[in-house]
C-alpha cells in the first residue's frame, strides 16, 4: 500500500469527516464529532505527521482554531480552503466570503469530476446546500435548507410531547403512520424528499429558461441515502466529493503556499 500523500479534513457543525489520500485514492472516510476533533489521542490526531500535507475546510470558526493548534503541535502547516483561493472555476457571487468553505470544496470537486460541464451539487447533512455551477458563470450560488435531522430535533424541542426521532434511514413503506414515532419519520423522510424535489425542479427550470444546458446532479453527505431512488431526475452520489474538492484546490494553490 502506498504511503499517504495528503490528508483532507472537512469540519462541519456536527461532525468532522476526513481521509488520507494514497496514490490518488482516498482511504475510507472517518467521521468523528466536531467537539472531539482535537482529542490528543483521537483518530484525527494520530494521522498528523510533519511529512504529510493537510488541506481542510471549516464552517465552524472555533473548531478551525482548534485544528490549527492541533496541527501546530504536530509540526504540520495545515492549508485552509477559503474564498480567495483558486477553485479551478470562476465565482460569480457578490460577497464570496459568505460562501461556506464546504460549498467551495464541493464546487471544486464537481469541476475536478466533470470538467467544464455544468452541475447541481446537493450536499445533504445537518443543513442541505444546493450549489449551482454553470457554463456561463462558474459557481453562481445556490440554496440552503434544513436537513432531516434538524426537522426531527426541532419538533422534539419545540413541542411538549413529541419524542426525538433519530432513525431516518429505515425505509418508509407507508404514508399513514400507526404511531407517533412512525408519523414523525414519514413526515421527516417523505417531506424531506419533497423539499429536495421541489427545490431541484425550481433550479433546473430557471437554468433551462436561461438557456443553460442540463446540468449533472451530484449528491453527497450523510443524509443522501434518504433521497436515493426517490427523485425524478438521475443523480450521481459521490460520498467523498468535498474531500476530492479539497485535494483539487490544494493542488491548484500549493505553489503559492510554498
167 has catalytic annotation: no
Quote the pTM value: 0.91
Cell representation of residue 98: 459568505
Res 1: pLDDT: 75
Non-local (6+) Cβ contacts of 57 within 8 A are: 9, 10, 11, 80, 81, 101, 102, 104, 105, 242, 246
Q: Which of 38, 102, 131, 240 is catalytic?
A: 102
DSSP SS3 for 147: coil
Look at the chain and count its residues: 258
Distance CA 234, CA 253 (A): 33
Q: So where are the chain's domains? A: 6-80
Res 226: pLDDT: 87
Distance CA 183, CA 44 (A): 38
A 10 A CB-CB count for 214 gives 12
Res 69: pLDDT: 95
6-80, CATH topology level: Nucleotidyltransferase; domain 5 (3.30.420)
Res 255: pLDDT: 52
Task: Report the candidate in 143, 148, 182, 178 with the shortest Cα–Cα distance to residue 162.
Answer: 182
Q: List the chain pLDDT tens, one digit each, 258 residues.
A: 788 999 999 999 889 999 999 988 999 999 999 999 999 889 999 999 988 999 999 999 999 999 999 999 999 989 999 999 999 999 999 999 999 999 999 999 999 999 999 999 999 988 999 999 999 889 999 999 999 889 999 999 999 999 999 998 888 889 999 999 999 999 999 999 999 999 999 999 999 999 999 999 999 998 898 898 899 999 999 999 999 999 999 999 985 544
Distance CA 16, CA 68 (A): 14
Instruction: Provide the β-strand partners of residue 52.
Output: none
Amino acid at each position: 500500500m502506498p504511503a499517504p500523500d495528503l490528508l483532507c479534513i472537512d469540519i462541519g457543525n456536527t461532525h468532522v469527516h476526513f481521509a488520507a489520500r494514497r496514490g490518488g485514492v482516498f482511504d475510507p472516510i472517518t467521521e468523528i464529532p466536531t467537539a472531539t476533533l482535537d482529542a490528543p489521542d483521537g483518530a484525527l490526531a494520530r494521522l498528523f505527521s510533519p511529512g504529510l500535507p493537510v488541506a481542510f475546510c471549516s464552517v465552524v470558526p472555533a473548531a478551525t482554531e482548534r485544528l490549527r493548534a492541533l496541527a501546530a503541535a504536530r509540526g504540520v502547516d495545515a492549508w485552509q480552503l477559503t474564498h480567495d483561493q483558486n477553485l479551478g472555476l470562476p465565482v460569480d457571487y457578490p460577497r464570496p466570503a459568505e460562501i461556506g468553505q464546504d460549498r467551495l470544496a464541493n464546487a471544486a470537486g464537481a469541476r475536478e469530476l466533470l470538467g467544464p460541464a455544468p452541475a447541481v451539487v446537493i450536499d445533504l447533512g445537518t443543513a442541505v446546500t444546493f450549489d449551482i455551477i454553470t457554463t456561463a458563470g462558474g459557481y453562481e450560488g445556490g440554496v440552503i435548507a434544513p436537513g432531516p435531522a434538524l426537522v426531527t430535533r426541532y419538533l422534539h424541542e419545540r413541542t411538549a410531547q413529541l419524542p426525538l426521532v433519530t432513525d431516518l434511514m429505515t425505509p418508509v413503506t407507508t404514508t399513514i403512520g400507526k404511531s407517533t414515532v412512525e408519523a414523525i419519520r414519514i413526515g421527516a423522510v417523505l417531506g424531506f424528499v419533497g423539499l429536495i424535489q421541489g427545490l431541484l425542479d425550481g433550479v433546473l427550470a430557471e437554468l433551462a429558461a436561461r438557456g443553460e444546458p442540463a446540468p449533472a446532479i451530484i449528491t453527497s453527505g450523510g443524509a443522501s441515502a434518504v433521497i436515493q431512488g426517490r427523485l425524478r431526475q438521475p443523480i450521481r452520489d459521490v460520498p467523498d466529493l468535498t474531500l476530492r474538492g479539497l485535494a483539487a484546490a490544494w493542488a491548484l494553490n500549493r505553489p503559492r503556499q510554498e
